[in-house]
Chains A and B, each alone.
Chain A
Amino acid sequence: MTVNDQIVSEYLDRLYECARSLSRSQVEELMTDVRGHVAAAIAEAGRDDEATVRTVLDRLGTPEDIVAAAVGEVSAVPPVIESGTADSARTRNWGWREAVAVALLVPGAFFAPIVGPLTGIAFAWSSEVWDKGTKRFAYVIGTVGVALPLFLFAAGVSLFTATSDQMGSFISNAPVISGNVAPTGRVPSVVGMSEEDATRALAKAGFAVIKDYQASDSVPLGRVISMDPAGGTQNGWSVSVRIIISIG
């Protein structure tokens, strides 16, 4: 791993760490976008020296800034206003349905596990006073009331049966990211290929390609003499691959 690879990896690691509060799909998308941005910027510059890489990362902003923006986007108000908003914003008095729903949703979860919250959801849903948002909230509370005892029960059973070995492998699998441009992609081997084929293969695998040219007695003109990192390397977060092409 070169120094510049390390700078990029550290940046992406930090971003990944900061992004823990986001949902899994958000994290995946963000990591893919940011890594793709860095690779594209390096590919555009045609260089991956330290100054270039640092400029690219400076312009991106700190991982903390990016994650703060992502957190802000989640709670942003959708730009299209629902037609029913004016009506639903009006507050009206609760009737017996609403009172029963609240009683079943919260204390009901303790006195009558599962059945209580389920019935509570049904009452909440039939309310003519509550708007959609409130009903959805009641639904979420009710679902938690149903799911929590089930989850606790299941957790109790699995704790009892799971061996420490299984728990270990579960934890180590957790941070793997999949996606269209896998950040943990394997570097394809392109030694001996033509410049064009090699560039295409590496680009397809998600890497920015940095080219150097060198004279060679053994490798024909236009073919790849060597590459760094080597083909087959599991490349972590790094974004660029350097290839040396023969000029004959």
Chain B
Amino acid sequence: MVAEPNDRVMTGLRRGVLEYCVLALISEGESYAFDIVRELGERGLVTSEGTIYPMLSRLRKDGLVSTYWMESESGPPRRYYKLSEQGAAVLRAFTADWQNFSSAVNALLHTSMKGE
């Protein structure tokens, strides 16, 4: 099935910003992988929850997050994620870039809407 042009654009945008959304979620506190994945799913940022795990694994390899295991009362041991200093720096840089980018796009979109 070929995706509608709009779907393709949204998929691309989502893919581009997803890892920063993951870093932002983790920056709010040390987090449990399952909760991160669920949260992104509920916000409509990801359709296949399982695809987040390879990304988390790569973020760990890149040194942007660290992980540790904790036992759970009701289920299997849980892997928790914590933002590293490098991860925090990457997130700060992206936040600034994103604000510039989104306000530039917003300004253009507003102009074109007025022009119609």
Write the residues of chain A forming the contact surface with B, with a CB cutoff of 8 angstroms.
26, 29-30, 33-37, 39-44, 59-63, 65-66, 68-70, 72-74, 76, 78-80, 180-181, 199-200, 203-209, 239
- Cross-chain pairs A/B with CB under 8 angstroms, 13 sampled: A30-B54, A33-B56, A37-B33, A60-B50, A61-B48, A61-B50, A68-B51, A72-B54, A79-B62, A200-B73, A203-B77, A208-B75, A209-B74
Interface size class of B (residues with CB under 8 A): 20 to 34
- The SS class assigned to the A binding surface is helix
In the complex, the answer to whether A60 meets B76 with C-beta atoms within 8 Å is no
> Given A37-B34, A78-B62, is A66 in contact with B51 using a C-beta cutoff of 8 Å?
yes
In the complex, the answer to whether B69 meets A36 with C-beta atoms within 8 Å is no
In the complex, the answer to whether A34 meets B50 with C-beta atoms within 8 Å is yes
Closest B residue to A63 by beta carbon equals: B50
> Given A33-B79, A208-B76, is A73 in contact with B47 using a C-beta cutoff of 8 Å?
no
Instruction: Tell me, in angstroms, the Cα distance from A35 to B53 when the chains sit together.
Output: 11
Least CB distance from A120 to B in Å reads: 30
Chain A residues with CB under 8 A of B33: 33, 36-37
Least CB distance from B31 to A in Å reads: 13
In the complex, the answer to whether A69 meets B55 with C-beta atoms within 8 Å is yes
Closest A residue to B15 by beta carbon equals: A72
Chain A residues with CB under 8 A of B76: 35-36, 39-40, 43, 181, 203, 205-208, 239
Chain B 56-96 interface mask (CB, 8 Å, partner A; 1/0): 11100010100001011111111100000010001000000
Least CB distance from B74 to A in Å reads: 5
Least CB distance from A237 to B in Å reads: 13
What number of A-B contacts does a CB cutoff of 8 Å give? 114
Instruction: Tell me, in angstroms, the Cα distance from A204 to B54 when the chains sit together.
Output: 24
In the complex, the answer to whether B69 meets A180 with C-beta atoms within 8 Å is yes
Chain B residues with CB under 8 A of A76: 58
In the complex, the answer to whether B50 meets A66 with C-beta atoms within 8 Å is yes
Chain B residues with CB under 8 A of A203: 71-77
In the complex, the answer to whether A37 meets B37 with C-beta atoms within 8 Å is yes
In the complex, the answer to whether A59 meets B19 with C-beta atoms within 8 Å is no
Q: Which of B49, B51, B54 has the most CB of A within 10 A?
A: B54
Chain B 25-58 interface mask (CB, 8 Å, partner A; 1/0): 0000000011001000100000111110111111
Instruction: Tell me, in angstroms, the Cα distance from A59 to B79 when the chains sit together.
Output: 20
In the complex, the answer to whether B34 meets A60 with C-beta atoms within 8 Å is no
Least CB distance from A54 to B in Å reads: 14
Chain B 6-38 interface mask (CB, 8 Å, partner A; 1/0): 000000000000010000000000000110010
> Given A59-B41, A61-B50, A79-B19, is A26 in contact with B75 using a C-beta cutoff of 8 Å?
no
Closest B residue to A65 by beta carbon equals: B48
Least CB distance from B114 to A in Å reads: 36
Chain B residues with CB under 8 A of A41: 34
Instruction: Tell me, in angstroms, the Cα distance from A44 to B37 when the chains sit together.
Output: 14
Instruction: Tell me, in angstroms, the Cα distance from A123 to B69 when the chains sit together.
Output: 46
In the complex, the answer to whether A29 meets B34 with C-beta atoms within 8 Å is no
Least CB distance from B13 to A in Å reads: 16
> Given A33-B57, A79-B62, A80-B62, is A40 in contact with B49 using a C-beta cutoff of 8 Å?
no
